Every structure is written in structure tokens, then in C-alpha cells.
Structure 1
Amino acid sequence: MNGRQFGAGLILDGASFRLWAPAAKRVDLLLEKFYPLRRGEDGWFVAEIADVKAGARYKFRIDDEIDVPDPASAFQPDDVSGPSEVIDHSSYQWRAAGWRGRPWRETVLIEIHVGTFTQEGSYRGMIAKLNHLAASGITALELMPLAEFAGKRNWGYDGVLWYAPDSVYGRPDDLKALIDEAHLRGLMVFLDVVYNHFGPEGNYLGRYAPSFFTGAQTPWGSVIDYRVPQVRAFAIENAMYWLHEYRFDGLRLDAVNAISEPGEVSMLRDLSIAAGHLSAETNRYIHLVLENGDNRASLLDAGRDPPCGQYRAQWNDDYHHAWHVLLTGETQGYYGDHTKSPMRDVARALASGFVYQGEASAYRGGQLRGEPSGMLSPTAFVNFLQNHDQIGNRALGDRLEGNVDRHAIEAALAITLLAPAIPMLFMGQEWGSKTPFPFFCDFGCMLADAVREGRRREYAWAYATYGDEVPDPLAESTFRSAVLDWETCNERSGQKRLALVRELLAIRQREVVPRLAGAAFGDAHAADNGLLTAYWRMGDGATLQLEANLSTGEIARERRETPGALIWGPETGDVIPPYSVSWRVAAG
């Protein structure tokens, strides 16, 4: 079983099955007939059954009352409540067998939802687009969560069987083929994983292992109790499973601020240490990234390899929010924390990472948020202008391209893609796609009604404004509207935006990436007239310099000699044109 505690695994003459069910009195294995499992210590039920081969389907019967899938199922061919399938992971023949990954500083991410990335909506369907991504200058795919969810369509954050890549996208070998083909093209592949809750449909753990949960609630489901050793092991083993069996290059952990561990050594620390051991054993680069609304800089260390106990980087929501307010003028919800001076907030994010580094957040009722972050490497932050949340949690799922002047967007891209932080795009953003990405799911009737009602409460203002234009999250048409419009990539505007992104990312790899090892924050300033300036101290002793006019008018200045060699943008003199961005490198 390759050292796994949970689930089914092939052994010499059959298969081994293990279920942690501390609240069960009896557990039977359902194959072609019933097999009673032997109760061991600490709530474990185990059995070794001869002549079981890969492809066998099974369930567990709990106390002669309910049949459940394996919570560590490797594959669910018939959705979350169907039988689990025994998978032989050793049978896949990897073509990119010598792949070791890439250093973190080379990372340029693109976030992708498998089901809407192509018309096929499958792992195999994505392979035909890998050449496009590599040619664009992207070096890493980040897949939204794949853990088996209820129904045929979902963002992925409602997964209930963490070890099973969802069958709606293909079989396990199809996912491996996608990762293999990406590696052959020099592309890393990351996976978004959710360890703060289980989805609302198809989770049976509460029946036979209620100690998985504390009884408290996150906004999305019951709080998982990582003080329980078996529960902690379940999550850590799952992370190592994705990294080892599927050879993902890294993981992005969703909303870790919703993980509650009072008075305990953090599960996050133990998971990071386990990944460090795997990295050393396999001689591979493994990168772990957080989403953390609490802005805990102490969890991050981009420089140590592997960052034992800490994490390579964090999604920088502050950077996005400041830019969004600056570009759109929207101030609802958490954007309200950036209304005073969004351009100065952009400057602070460029100068030291987080915007909120211990200041009071009005959106959080005056609660202090964040820790000082300027001492970290700039590569400890993943910066972006759009992602699934910031598009999909809008009432209409509309992108920036439908709401903001293209010159403003291109200026923001020129800053984001060349700044030392790790940049991330959302699928289609590289050519300026306007395809919406609304929230969608596929739950049963009662839960479907609850989801609809919840969305109506959360976006009451939008329903009042747009009425029937707000898409029904349960309708298949809402999902279909999110399928990426690849044909627009070939239109004139798409080709122009794609050429810009390719040019910027080529300059990044040539001029910025070789200097990122040992780079440090410098300073940044935003003036009332729209002038933004910033600099960073690079690892080779050079200084990377930014000058940008983020206004619609020209900015006059005294003629002066600007030190450093221009690497991108116009050579400006007495006047800085509207939405112009210039980057220079001055030798140390």
C-alpha cells in the first residue's frame, strides 16, 4: 500500500482495505460478496482479500444500516455515493520519468477549471492546449480542485472524497497523462486542495467517524478536527498522495484561515514537513502555496528549499483588491477596505507584500489583520488581477475585460507580469477573454434550493439591479456559459493581447527571473496625479525600477537622466503618456 494508512491498495495476492470508523460496531466489505472487516485498535477496520484486482468495485456496510464509499477512494466511476474502484497506480508508464520540476522563481501560473477550459471538459481535452500555454510564457498550470464532488459540474470546492479525481473529467490515468504531457513541455502542474471543510452532499464521515469534526462551522461546512491524529494523518497523507502518485509539482491550500487548531502544533506545519521529506527523497522541486485571509507572514518562506514547516508563497488578495478598486471604482464588500487610496495600496503591495500588515480592517469589524511582510522575498507572494473567486463571486461572473478600459488593463498587466512577485493569470486572460465564470454546481433538489436562496441573500443588491440576468447556479446553461471561448483568441484583439503577454513574459524570463534568487523589497510611491514608482533590490545586486502613469492624462515632469537600461516600455522625456509603463534595470 506504499505506506498509506487509508483506503484500498493492491498487495501480492489481492488487495488490502482499511477504514477508520471509530463509531461503528461492525463494518463489512461489499465486493462480489460480503467480507467482515476485523476491528483493530483506535477504530480501525481492516481486511486483506485474495484475488482482488485493479478495477474491482467495493463499498463498506456500516452496522448493517448504510452502505458508503471509501472516504479514501482512489476513483468513483458512479459519483460520490457509488462504489469505489481499486486503482493500480503503478501501472501507468510515465514518459517524463526524469522530470524534477522547476525552481519557484521561474513560476508563472495560470489558474484553470478543467470542466470549462475546453469544450471537451476533460483531462485529455486539455492536452491539446498545452502548447498554447507554453508558447504564451506560462510555466505552471494550477488546477482548481479535483476531489470527487456531487453531480456533473462544480467549481471543485465541494469535494467530499479527497483522494478521487472527479470522474466527470476522466479516469486517473487520464489525469496522469495530462500531467505527463505538461512535464514533457516544461510545464509544472499544481493542484488546489481543500482541507478546511467537506462538501455538503455525499459526505458520510459523520455517521461512522463523527470525531472528524468539532461541531463548529466554517462558512462552507463543519470544522475538521485536526487535533485527532487520524484526521490529521488523513489530510497529510492526501497531500502526499497527490504529490507522489500523480506527480503534481505543488499544491495550493484553500482558505487555511478557516482551519481551526486551538493550542496545537499546526497541521499546516506537519504537512509542509512531510512535503519536504518527499522532496528530498525524490529529488524534486515541490512547492506549497497558501490562501490565507489572515495574512500570516510567519507561515511563509520562499527562500528555503524545501521550506520545512513553512510555505513557499501566498495568494495576495490585497494586491488584487487594491487594483480592482483602482480599475473599477467598486467598493462593496471587502473592497471597502481599499477605498481610501487604492493606488497607495497598490504601491504598498509592490513595496512590501501585503497591504494589511496588522492594521484594522473595517470589513472585519475593526479586527486587526495581517503581519509585517516586508522582510520576506517578493516571490513569497502570488499576485493576480483576476482569479476564480474574484470573477465567479460576482453576481454575473463577469471579467475585468467587460468593465475596464483595455489600456488600463494592459498597464496593470505590464506591472503584474514583470514585478518580482510570482504572477498568476486566470484561464483566457492571456488573450483578454470575456467569457464569464459564474458560480455553478449540480446538487439535489433540497440542497439546490438552499444554494439558490443563499446566493439571493448574498447578492440581494445584484438581484435588485439585474433581476433575471443573474444566472441560476444550478442551471446547466450557467455552466455552459463559462466554457472558454477559444475562438476569440484568434480575433484581432485576442492576438494583440496575447502578443503583449508573450512579450512581457519573455522579458520576465530573460531579465527578471535570473535575478530573483536573493531579491528583496525596496520601496514604492503613488502620487495624486497617477504616477507610480517602485524599485526592488535584486539578487545579483542590480535594481529593478518601475515608472508608470496610471491616469488618463499626461504627466509632465522635469527632463532628467534616468539611470538604468530600459527593458520594457516607452523612453519618456518631459511627458509621461497615459497608462504608460516603463521598466529598467540598473547595475549594482
Structure 2
Amino acid sequence: MTDLNRQTFGPRLSSSGTEFRVWAPAHREVRLEIRDSDPVAMDRSEDGWHTKTVEAPFGARYRFHLPDGLSVPDPASRFQDGDVHGWSVLVDPDEYSWKTTGWKGRPWREAVVYELHVGVYGGFNGVAEALPKLAELGVTAIELMPINDFPGERNWGYDGVLPYAPDAAYGTPAELKALVDRAHELGLMMLLDVVYNHFGPDGNYIPAEAPQFFREDLHTPWGGAIDFRLPDVRAYFTENVLFWMEEYGFDGVRMDAVHAISESDWIDETAAAVRSLEVETGRKLHIVLENEFNEQSHLAGDVDAQWNDDFHHVFHVLLTGEQEGYYEDFSEDTAGKLARTLQDGFVYQGETSPHSGKKRGTSSGHLAPTAFVSFLQNHDQIGNRAFGDRLTTLAPPQGVEAATAALLLCPHIPMIYMGEEVASETPFLFFTDHSGELADAVREGRRKEFSKFAAFAGAEVPDPNALKTFTDSIPKPHPERADARLALFRTLLTIRAAELAPYLDGCAAAGAEVVGDKAVVSRWTLGDGSALTMAINLANEPVSLSSLEGPVLFESVAGAADMARSGSLPGFSTIVLKEPAA
């Protein structure tokens, strides 16, 4: 459990009672309200902290009463009764008895990440029930989309407003701990998607307590930027990362859209704090970033990896032919860009983006392949389409299978999106549970956003607030292809675990060549000196290439390796070979 007394935010427990704390520098007086008790004045320090120690049982409901009459939840609430506008709950950190107290985590090179949305699984207990099959498949890490408290019963999680509180729609704190415990029993790492670049539009009371928390001179797509120049603000989020790792046993976090955090040195400061916790506990802990700007500087320090959108975009363009929006950046020399993403991770390393007209990215070829989390689908790339289309509905099955083999057998860290392993064609739509004017604004904003795309012009984009939009997003296996696709994933992940993962430390790119409009041959030297070769052809027609040598690890089309040795790479195929070290 977390040592609550070294947490700046949230209640502190002691033999003399519970110290309730809130940073509200905008107010001279704040009163503590405990349900069924009289409000009591809190003590204020010069730096704006209001504290009060009282006797309070676990389960007590409390909130803070501001001078203007507004009563607000604890911004570091550990759980809520009555959603984001309700009472905060004093949680017993020792309520759950851990089974896997000896768990120390897994090295990053072994990561095969499976991203999922807790709500469509029915909550924490539903996810726990699904874990054995995922572990048997070869998944080694589960990444939960954000679970912090959001308004309503359903949400992607990026509208959260209480970063320390698991949403009650998914279950209790004890049930979340049981989920993490079960994952560890099965040898699975647990990663959590966290959002530190903004708060949601409904239920964020921090501006009423501490308007200093936000900047007036800098804005993001979600409003005023969070002011990471302030020590208390930095501590609020750094401690949140440590809280999830210590109190709930998460093995790592994925930080959402860090390009929208103005003071990027905070990322390195937090990563250093995680490394200190790693040394203190002997656990292997991980940090993954999402950074739209392809900024690699954090990867040279204590950050493990970064999502690689470029990998997705290249494969998507090759498989679907789409060129609108940011896919415009990958419409020319697409095979060359495929070679570059396989070798260097980022495609854009300082070049000008045709789509934005701005330079994007920094050099990345010197980084280890495991510094990149690559994927063919994820919540954004599916859900940010008007109708939540999965790749399975946009590309031929043989092409998807060839791309899947490339993803799972290249040295990058692969990420699978829920349902991908059963060839699901179920959409993943954008859904919320707002009401009133906010619901109208979200609905109309969503429809306006897609009106400029030719593919969606005149179409009725699903209402994000409709219950049906959520239920339509629950993944279902493909009625005909599910078993074969599942077998493919199992085969590929078995090969990865035996032939790649043990040798990824020290792995380096060894060159790539374009052999067709949609075909490349890429090579790497693994950490043990063995040579890995991958030939990919995402066109329907075969292409000529120089003869490939080495034992075959996998071919996505029967007989493809023999054809390649004869100088022809079949259409929609991936071949992987591994030559032992000399």
C-alpha cells in the first residue's frame, strides 16, 4: 500500500485521526464537511493549504465547503459516492489483502500490450474474468484506458476530473486491486492510461479552489493549460503516478498527449521519481508516452517507450489507400516510409508535414526498437473515425494478417487493441454520458468535426450520449474468421516469446530496402548477434526480390518462403527469417 503520509494530496492517516487536506490558495477559509456531522473550519497555511485532523471512520463521506457556498469533492478523492459532483469517500487502504506480494514485474523487452476499455468488459470484475485467455494467447501486459472518475456511467475516460479515484461505474477500489492481483497471478503486467494534460468539462472544481492551477496565457484544445511551473501542481500529478503504482500495484503508466504539457521537464522529473521507486521496491516499473510531435528526448532518459503513430499510419495507408487528414503525410513514397518506421521508429524526424505545413519530429534512428510501441489499431485510430471503423472492415483479410505478422514479429513493442485477435468488425465509437447543454455541444461538435471529410459528408454520426453508441462498441468475434485469427495471434506470440523477446536488449536496425510499391525487406541484429529478416508485401501482386537466406520463423502464406528464395515475394505476405549468430 501507499504510505499516505508521504502523499501531499489526499487524506493522511495517523493514530490521532485523519488529516484532511486541500490546496485552495484562492480562499482564506475552507470548511470540512463530513456527512451527518457539523462542518468544521480548517487551518490555513501561508502557502494555501487547508488542513484539519478529526476522527473519521473508513467509509466516511466528506467534501470541502468554500466561502461562496459551493461544496466540492476532494481533488485527490480516492473514491466517489454520487459521481463527480458527489461526496468523496475515505477509503481503507488495507481493505484488500494482496495475494501476489512477491510480484516484481517483467522486463520491458517482454511486453506485448493489450489495450482495452474497462466499461465494455463490464467493469473491473469483467476484465479479471477475461485475463486467463489473454495470458494463454501470449499477451504479457494489459493497458487499461483511463479509469479515473468521469461524469456519468460511460466514457472513454479522457473526460476524467478526479485522477486519484477509480470510477464507481467500473467497481470499487478493492475490486480494482483484485483485478491487478489476478493479472499478476497470471504473469501479466498492468499498465494504466493516465491523463495529465487537461481535465474534463464536467465536474472539475479545481478552478474554484485554486485558479492558479491553470494558466491564462496558454491554452490547449481543452481550455487553459495546466500550470506545470508550480511545485504543487507538479506534485499533484507526480504523486498520482506513484499512487497508482504503490497503492494499486500497477506496473506502469501510459501518459496521454504529453505534447500538450507545456513544461516537459516535469515528465523527466516524474520518470526519475518512478526510477527511485523502482530501486526502493525492487519492482520493474514502466513509463510510456503519447507525443504527437515525435519528440524523442525523454526516451534518452528514464522513459521506456513512446506510442508510434507513424507505424500505424504507414500500414493504414498501404492497406486502405486512404489519404485524407493526416494520412496525407504518408501518401507519397509509402513503401519508403514503411522501411523507415521499421528501422527508425519515427517516419517524421524533422521533415515538414504536408498535412500541417509544419516540421514534425526529431531523429530517432539511434534509439532501441523497444523504445517504440507500435500498433495497427488503437482506441484513437478506430474511435476517432466517425463510425468507429476497424481495420478489419477497411482492408482485405490477407493484408491484415500480413500486417499483423509484421507487427508481432518486428522488434518494436507491439500493442493489440481489444477484439483484434478475433478479427472483430465491431466498431469502437466515441461515447460519453453527458446531459443537457453539454450533451448537445458534444453531439453537434462531433458531427461538425466530420462534415469536412468526403467519406462522411451527409452521414449521421452516432450520438456520443446515446446508450446504443456504447453497447454497439462492445467487441464481438468475427463469425467466420475469429478462430483462424486467434490461432494466428497465438502462433506469432509463441514465436515472439521464444525467438525475439529474450534477445531484444541490444537489438539494432541493420538496414532496409524497398522492393515494390508496397513491399520492403527489413533487417535487424538481435542482442545475441543473430540476424532477423522480415519481408513484407502489402500489395495484391507478387514482387521480385533478391533471394532471402536463413531459417524461416514464419510465413503468412503457405509456400511464401520457398517463392521468396526463388526471387518472388507473394502478394499480401510477410516472411520472417532468423540467422543464428556466427
Which residue in 2 is equivalent to 1:139? 140
- CA 1:475–1:466 in 2, change beyond 3 Å: closer, same or farther? farther
Which residue in 1 is equivalent to 2:550? 564
Contact 1:532 1:550 in 2 (8 A): no
- CA 1:468–1:298 in 2, change beyond 3 Å: closer, same or farther? closer
Contact 1:463 1:470 in 2 (8 A): no
Which residue in 1 is equivalent to 2:150? 149
The partner residue of 2:332 within 340, 357, 372 is: 340
Contact 2:180 2:250 in 1 (8 A): yes
CA distance in structure 2 between the aligned counterparts of 1:465 and 1:189, rounded to whole angstroms: 37
Letter in 1 for 2:158: Y
Moved more, 285-294 or 568-577: 568-577
Counterparts in 2 of 1:56-455, with a 5 A limit? 56-116=60-120, 118=121, 121-215=122-216, 216-261=218-263, 266-301=265-300, 309-365=301-357, 367-455=358-446
TM-score for both structures, normalised by structure 1: 0.94
Question: What SS is found at the alignment partner of 2:513?
Answer: strand
CA distance in structure 2 between the aligned counterparts of 1:462 and 1:479, rounded to whole angstroms: 23
Letter in 2 for 1:525: E
Which residue in 2 is equivalent to 1:537? 525
CA distance in structure 2 between the aligned counterparts of 1:484 and 1:464, rounded to whole angstroms: 24
Which residue in 2 is equivalent to 1:19? 22
Contact 2:447 2:460 in 1 (8 A): no
CA distance in structure 2 between the aligned counterparts of 1:206 and 1:500, rounded to whole angstroms: 51
Matched, 1:35 2:26: no
Q: Gaps spanning 5+ residues in structure 2: where?
A: none
Question: What SS is found at the alignment partner of 1:23?
Answer: coil
Which residue in 2 is equivalent to 1:587? 580
CA distance in structure 2 between the aligned counterparts of 1:529 and 1:465, rounded to whole angstroms: 28
CA distance in structure 2 between the aligned counterparts of 1:166 and 1:462, rounded to whole angstroms: 35
CA distance in structure 1 between the aligned counterparts of 2:455 and 2:443, rounded to whole angstroms: 15
TM-score for both structures, normalised by structure 2: 0.95
What CA deviation, in whole Å up to 9, does each residue of 1:550-588 have, x standing for no partner?
Answer: 221123456x4x332111114223333221211111123
Contact 1:115 1:169 in 2 (8 A): yes
Contact 2:59 2:89 in 1 (8 A): yes
Contact 2:78 2:88 in 1 (8 A): yes
CA distance in structure 1 between the aligned counterparts of 2:510 and 2:82, rounded to whole angstroms: 54
What CA deviation, in whole Å up to 9, does each residue of 1:181-239 have, x standing for no partner?
Answer: 01000010100001100111000111120010002321123210010110011010111
CA distance in structure 1 between the aligned counterparts of 2:561 and 2:459, rounded to whole angstroms: 49
Which residue in 2 is equivalent to 1:306? none
Question: What SS is found at the alignment partner of 2:359?
Answer: strand
CA distance in structure 2 between the aligned counterparts of 1:463 and 1:115, rounded to whole angstroms: 32
CA distance in structure 1 between the aligned counterparts of 2:458 and 2:52, rounded to whole angstroms: 56
Letter in 1 for 2:13: L
Letter in 2 for 1:299: H
Contact 1:251 1:287 in 2 (8 A): yes
Quote the offset at 1:453 in angstroms.
2.0
- CA 1:530–1:230 in 2, change beyond 3 Å: closer, same or farther? closer
Letter in 2 for 1:323: F
Quote the offset at 1:492 in angstroms.
4.1
Quote the offset at 1:97 in angstroms.
0.9
The partner residue of 1:552 within 527, 532, 540 is: 540
Contact 2:335 2:519 in 1 (8 A): no
- CA 1:260–1:529 in 2, change beyond 3 Å: closer, same or farther? closer
Question: What SS is found at the alignment partner of 1:89?
Answer: coil
Letter in 1 for 2:378: N
Contact 2:447 2:461 in 1 (8 A): no
Question: What SS is found at the alignment partner of 1:45?
Answer: strand
Letter in 2 for 1:109: V
CA distance in structure 1 between the aligned counterparts of 2:110 and 2:61, rounded to whole angstroms: 42
CA distance in structure 1 between the aligned counterparts of 2:389 and 2:519, rounded to whole angstroms: 29
Contact 1:10 1:53 in 2 (8 A): no
Counterparts in 2 of 1:460-475, with a 5 A limit? 460-461=451-452, 465=456, 467=458, 469-475=460-466
What CA deviation, in whole Å up to 9, does each residue of 1:261-320 have, x standing for no partner?
Answer: 2xxx7110110011011111110000000000111112104xxxxxxx531000000111
Which residue in 2 is equivalent to 1:9? 12
Which residue in 2 is equivalent to 1:305? none
CA distance in structure 2 between the aligned counterparts of 1:371 and 1:556, rounded to whole angstroms: 34
Quote the offset at 1:461 in angstroms.
3.7
What CA deviation, in whole Å up to 9, does each residue of 1:473-497 have, x standing for no partner?
Answer: 1111101111122xx36x4410000
Q: Gaps spanning 5+ residues in structure 1: where?
A: 302-308
Q: Name the Cα RMSD after superposition.
A: 1.5
Quote the offset at 1:548 in angstroms.
2.3
Matched, 1:46 2:51: yes
What CA deviation, in whole Å up to 9, does each residue of 1:6-59 have, x standing for no partner?
Answer: 111332242110100000121000012211100012000001102x11100001
Matched, 1:527 2:515: yes
Quote the offset at 1:345 in angstroms.
1.1
Contact 1:435 1:484 in 2 (8 A): yes
Which residue in 2 is equivalent to 1:513? 501
Contact 1:198 1:222 in 2 (8 A): no
Letter in 1 for 2:75: P
CA distance in structure 2 between the aligned counterparts of 1:41 and 1:239, rounded to whole angstroms: 27
CA distance in structure 1 between the aligned counterparts of 2:223 and 2:421, rounded to whole angstroms: 34
CA distance in structure 1 between the aligned counterparts of 2:91 and 2:304, rounded to whole angstroms: 32
Quote the offset at 1:343 in angstroms.
2.1
- CA 1:295–1:464 in 2, change beyond 3 Å: closer, same or farther? closer
CA distance in structure 2 between the aligned counterparts of 1:550 and 1:39, rounded to whole angstroms: 65
CA distance in structure 2 between the aligned counterparts of 1:14 and 1:393, rounded to whole angstroms: 48
CA distance in structure 2 between the aligned counterparts of 1:258 and 1:99, rounded to whole angstroms: 34
What CA deviation, in whole Å up to 9, does each residue of 1:58-110 have, x standing for no partner?
Answer: 01001152000000000012100100000111232111111111000000001
CA distance in structure 1 between the aligned counterparts of 2:25 and 2:43, rounded to whole angstroms: 13
Letter in 2 for 1:471: P
Moved more, 66-75 or 128-137: 128-137
Query: Number of residue pairs matched?
Result: 568
Quote the offset at 1:469 in angstroms.
4.2
Question: What SS is found at the alignment partner of 2:481?
Answer: helix
Question: What SS is found at the alignment partner of 2:302?
Answer: coil
Letter in 1 for 2:277: L
Question: What SS is found at the alignment partner of 1:417?
Answer: helix
Contact 1:10 1:88 in 2 (8 A): no
Contact 1:431 1:494 in 2 (8 A): yes
Letter in 2 for 1:69: P
CA distance in structure 2 between the aligned counterparts of 1:344 and 1:518, rounded to whole angstroms: 25
What CA deviation, in whole Å up to 9, does each residue of 1:355-389 have, x standing for no partner?
Answer: 00111112222x21111101110000000000000
